[in-house]
Structure 1
Amino acid sequence: MSQLDRISDPTGVAPSSRYSHVVAGRGRQVFVAGQVAFDENGQLVGAGDALAQARQVFANIGHCLAAAGAGFEHLAKLTVFVTDIGHLPAVRTAWDEALGTAHAPASSAVQVAGLFQPGLLLEIEAYAIVPEPGQSS
């Protein structure tokens, strides 16, 4: 059994194939600050290209999770901030590439007027639950 229980179709709520409405689990909590499309040198990746930025953001999330001893399979919740709701298909493509379909975290998507630096099209924050030593994953 997975350490995270994912429920995509709770009674009374429209089912989802892309995300889970509810994710519950036991273990160490990991919070990843909002990640943007900066490479390891702080340079913007994919100016004007939502897909390139989304791919960099998910790469950054992967690095952050790894630093905490976690992986995408431990994601419980993602919050996606986009400057244009039209960027969501690009986010979904990068999401599918990074997470696949087996690990559907809960998620929210919000259009915002802007992010902290011009040129950034999206930011994603993450929450994960990692099993404690001896706990099954």
Structure 2
Amino acid sequence: MTKAKRKDIVSDKLYSRVVGGKALFPHAVSVEGKRMIFLSGQLAWDKEGNLIGKGDMRAQFRQVCENLKEALIASGAGLEDIVKTNTFVTDMGEFFKCVDIRHEYFGPGWPTSTTVEVSKLAVPDATVEIEAIAMVD
């Protein structure tokens, strides 16, 4: 697959965290491509349906990212093609401890993202779920 043309958009009229003279996250992403891939919310299940990392958001976050990667590969795409993520977590404080894992899988060129703390997810003991949209030529 050919990578879709992507342009990060940062408005000087909006707040932006800056690191090393560059905005940490874009406010929007403009993408030119021919095919959109909508990834269902992924939980930290292994191939056999076992929840990985019970009580450990870092372990779950890593497994969720691996699951996203595998779903994208099956779709003829990769993590670098993700343009938007919605992340649902049961503890925002624990999520902030996963930022390095997020950077490992999604950065640089991070997708636009929204993270929301929820009281619980659909599966008992699940602490993080990520859904995504990818675009490829």
- In which range does the TM-score fall when normalised by the shorter chain? 0.7 to 0.9
Q: Percentage identity across aligned positions? A: 36
Please report the TM-score for the alignment, with normalisation by the length of structure 2: 0.87
Structure 1: gaps of 5 or more residues: 132-137
Counterpart of 1:118 (choices 102, 109, 124) is 124
Provide runs of 4+ in structure 1 moved above 2 Å: 16-19
Structure 1 position 109 matched with structure 2 position 115? yes
Instruction: Give 1:121-132 correspondences, 5 Å limit.
Output: 121-131=127-137
Q: CA RMSD in A?
A: 1.6
Q: Does 1:41 align with 2:43?
A: no
Gaps of 5+ in 2: 18-22
Q: Distance in 1 between matches of 2:24 and 2:78?
A: 19
* TM-score normalized by the length of structure 1: 0.87
Match of 2:25 among 11, 16, 19: 19
- Cα distance, 1:2 vs structure 2: 6.3
Distance change (3 Å), C-alpha of 1:18 and 1:59: farther
Q: Deviations over 1:75-123 (max 9, x none)?
A: 100111001111222332221121232x211000101111011100010
Aligned match of 1:134: none
The aligned counterpart of 2:71 is 64
Which SS does the other structure have where 1:128 is aligned? strand
Greater share of strand: 2
**What is the distance in 1 between the residues matched to 2:43 and 2:100?**
16
